[in-house]
Amino acid sequence: MKYSTFLLVAMFCMGIGLFSSCNDNGPERQEMVDIKPVKTKETVTYYITTVDNLRAREGQQKSSKVLAKLKEGTIVKSLNEASEHKETVTLRGKSYTEPYRRVLIDDSMEAWIYGGGVDVFHSGEDIDDITSINNFKSFLKGMADMKISNGNAVLKKLMQLSSENPSTNDALYFLSKDYMDKLSFQGSLDLDKQGITMDDDYAAIVDRTYDMNSSRIGKEAEESGFLLTASEGMIGYQTDQYALEGAIGGIFSNEVKEYIRLKKNEYKHRLFSDAAISGSLEDLMNDAISWSNFVERYPDFAKAKESKNTQEYLKRALFYGTENTPAFDFESRLAKKEFRDIWNTTLETYPNAPFAKELYAHIQKLESNDWKFSD
């Protein structure tokens, strides 16, 4: 079937509002539900400062009196008011053009802070126990040495602080995840000193079949809430979503539950390795769809920037491939059959996908150029 003809069929499916394939015998697919943005009954937003000594001012001007200087990592509550004007400020070498935002500090002082110096920490129902959150922040800050074994202490602390309130648990999850992600990024492991070989052990870690109890480093990682990963001849750590979820007790908001599910899939599907697509194109398609639905459904999510970046990377890999798995042949520049097939499957299975129209345009452009990618 020519893609132009198929396009008309897919557009017809969109017009009658189908959220499933026009072909009932297609592959197993992600659930396509109503993906209109979700709003909680009363959305409360908390910010976290991303720079040290952020000025909290009396008014919404740079010249306004300074009431306090906030340390990096300070959590403040939004009072849902922003200045009409924006200022351009350079923070840590990056330029921001943002308004001033009115916030509540320590449940006692109202002030205005520059919007470029904060990120959204939580957006949803109000956190019922901000004291526990601040205590947990202090606990994390008190562990000065960035050691993988710190993860074990984090898991134990989470068990003590976990709540029946989903919003409090959401906040605990993101604080602990951010901290443990920093631990995991501290560097690769020296294989010769860790009881891991470059032969069977390395391959097993790549394939997600490695027995964590077979080496000292594997045992320590598992006890501390980490998994082992391997890429480009290096062994590293990755935060274990199951460990964090289990320590907190699994009571989260719907959006955080979905976010955790998607993060688990990242590990399970092992889509990328050494700048190549190492997983299946069908898993790439499903993950691209899932992240796109998530971004559209939860636009005010605390990790909206990260989620958007993940969505864009997956979508680009689906459309164009990666450096070591391009969607086209290097010599002829022709689109590879396996990519043309997965585009076909995507359109057939997900006619209402958030990026469906973009994919239609991508296919039409290639088809008009005899399926050759242009430089």
- CA angle 41/166/307 to nearest 5° reads 80
pLDDT of 33 reads 44
Which ranges of the chain have pLDDT less than 70? Answer: 1-41, 187-195
pLDDT of 34 reads 47
CA 185 to chain centre: 16
* C-alpha to C-alpha distance for 118 and 277, rounded to whole angstroms: 35
pLDDT of 240 reads 96
Q: Where in the chain do CATH 2.30.30 domains reside? A: 44-124
pLDDT of 194 reads 63
H or E stretch at 106: none
pLDDT of 30 reads 52
pLDDT of 136 reads 93
Q: Dihedral (C-alpha) 308, 309, 314, 319: value to the nearest 10 degrees?
A: 90
Cβ 89 vs Cβ 114: under 8 Å: yes
CATH of 44-124, one of 3.20.20, 2.30.30, 1.10.3680, 1.10.10: 2.30.30
The string over 115-150, giving b where at least 16 C-beta atoms fall within 10 Å of a residue's C-beta and e elsewhere, is: bbbbebbbbbbbbebbebbeebbebbeebeeeebeb
Distance (Å) of CA 256 to CA 116, 168, 324:
25, 12, 33
pLDDT of 20 reads 37
The number of beta carbons lying within 10 Å of the beta carbon of residue 96 is 15
| DSSP state letters, 118-136 | EEEEEEESPPS-HHHHHHH
pLDDT of 39 reads 54
Question: In the chain, where does DSSP find H-type helix?
Answer: 3-15, 130-142, 150-161, 166-184, 200-206, 216-223, 241-248, 254-269, 281-297, 304-320, 337-349, 356-368
pLDDT of 52 reads 92
pLDDT of 273 reads 85
pLDDT of 129 reads 81
What is the average pLDDT score of the chain? 86
The burial of 173, by beta-carbon neighbours within 10 Å (0-12 exposed, 13-18 middle, 19 or more buried), is given as buried
Model pLDDT for residues 36-53, shown as the tens digit of each residue: 565 555 788 999 999 999
Strands 226-231 and 75-91: unpaired
